[in-house]
Amino acid sequence: MKNRVTGIGGLFFKSKDPKATKDWYKTHLGFNTDDYGCTFWWKDKEGNDCSTQWSPFPENTSYYQPSKKAFMFNYRVENLHELIKILKEEGVTIVGEIEEYEYGKFGWILDNEGNKIELWEPIDKAFM
């Protein structure tokens, strides 16, 4: 498999007050925030539209478990099912099962320090 990760799909972090954090970033840095945070749009080297999500989560979120860290990265991938298979063969810890939604497929792994990583294969070309 040539390209495992193609970019950063999102930056997720814990916040004492996610709404206040989104408001601060909107006011002071001009983020176009919504209920989920802020979506940054960009083009890849082939000129395709792509997105990266920035999202503050509540401090008590369990979404990053089993990691104890206050953040989680989401990486964009091209073929999630194949990549998960390869990572499993390489001894990487896989967390849960692949989940599929109308906007993409998601899988989770742990890195060498126990940080949970979300892998995202966009389905909609608008997110590619």
What mean pLDDT do residues 103-119 have? 96
| 57-103 per-position pLDDT tens digit | 999 999 999 999 999 999 999 999 999 999 999 999 999 999 999 98
What SS3 string covers the chain?
CCCCEEEEEEEEEEECCHHHHHHHHHHHHCCCEECCEEEEEEECCCCCEEEEEEEEEECCCCCCCCCCCCEEEEEEECCHHHHHHHHHHCCCEEEEEEEEECCEEEEEEECCCCCEEEEEEECCCCCC
Mean pLDDT of the chain: 93
Please name the fold of domain 5-122: 2,3-Dihydroxybiphenyl 1,2-Dioxygenase; domain 1 (3.10.180)
The residue ranges of every structural domain in the chain are 5-122
pTM: 0.88
